[in-house]
Structure 1
Amino acid sequence: MSKKFISFLTFVLLTILVSLVLLFMRTQDSIYRAEDEAVKLISYDFKVENVNKFYWSTTDKTYFAVDFNDDKGQQHYAIITQEGGETNYYTKDEIITEDEATSIVLYDMQPDKIVQMRLAQINQEPIWEATIKNNNGTITYYIISAKDGTWIQTIENI
């Protein structure tokens, strides 16, 4: 192989790599922007001391949810409708935690792998949505009530 060909190939590979890195950074930027906007909305009602976790989910609408601690150390959950910014707040005593929801899904479904847990709403009710990867390569969404952990819906073979 000639030096020109190797140089050209190196240039092409570097261009592809840089493009992929820029694409990844751009994707992550929208997530961080959404989280910042959610925290700003919450700040009208609470002084947010610490964000424990941010969730982005689409059920009947697109929702942003934030697990956070206020300036008094109290844990809260905020579920925000992306369009319009309607915000519902819950304390840790009003809804189950992500760990509790994960335990319920593991018990009920006995999945090979839970890819992700997301806090959202369906018809104004808080829910936990589990994304499950099945051993046949399909995805299942298992949705439970965030208030008491009862089953709401299963969407299979996606």
Structure 2
Amino acid sequence: MSRKTVTTISVILLVILVGLFWLFMESQASIYQAEDEAIAIIEADYPVDQVNEFYWVTFDETYFSTEFIDTDGVHRYAIISQEGGDTDYYTYDEIISEPQAKELTLSDLGEAEIIQARLGKMEMNPVWEVTLRNTNGTLTYYYLNASDGTWIQTIENI
């Protein structure tokens, strides 16, 4: 190949790579904006020292949830309704943690790969939605009451 051909191919690949990177960043912009807005809402009640997790989940409504540490060193969860910004706060003593929710799910369902767990509210109660990939490749959504870890419902074979 001539030097001109290699340069042309390199430039085309670079343009494609930059375009794909830009597209990815644009697709992530809404989640970053939602996280920033959620933190701003939380900081009206608790000064946030560190955000550990951010969750975005939709049941009957859309909820943004965070696991954070306030400036007093207290680990908290905040669940914020997208409609109206109503916010509920929980400490680690009041609801089960994400690892506990995953552990309870695996103990109930057996072998499966956990894809993610997200915190939200269902019928005004805090709920963990745990998404699993089954050994046959189907998805299962397993819902746990975040207050006590009891099973709420399972949606299987998706």
Uncovered stretches (5+) of structure 1, i.e. residues with no partner: none
**Normalised TM-score (structure 1):** 0.91
**CA deviation map 1:36-69 (0-9, x unaligned):** 1001001111111111111111111111001111
Aligned length: 158
| Kept after mapping to 2: 8 A contact 1:47/1:70 | yes
Alignment partners' CA distance in 2, 1:110 and 1:22: 40
Identity, % of aligned pairs?
A: 53
Uncovered stretches (5+) of structure 2, i.e. residues with no partner: none
- More displaced 10-residue stretch of structure 1: 122-131 or 19-28: 19-28
Q: Aligned residue for 1:24?
A: 24
| Kept after mapping to 2: 8 A contact 1:111/1:133 | no
Q: Aligned partner of 1:77: which letter?
A: Y
Q: Aligned residue for 1:64?
A: 64
Cα RMSD after superposing both structures: 1.7
Aligned positions of 1:114-133 closer than 5 A: 114-133=114-133
Alignment partners' CA distance in 2, 1:4 and 1:83: 56
Q: Aligned residue for 2:53?
A: 53
Q: Aligned residue for 1:90?
A: 90
Alignment partners' CA distance in 2, 1:92 and 1:110: 26
Aligned positions of 1:131-142 closer than 5 A: 131-142=131-142
Q: Shift of the alpha carbon at 1:153? A: 1.1
Q: Aligned partner of 2:155: which letter?
A: I
- More displaced 10-residue stretch of structure 1: 105-114 or 6-15: 6-15
Q: Shift of the alpha carbon at 1:12? A: 3.9
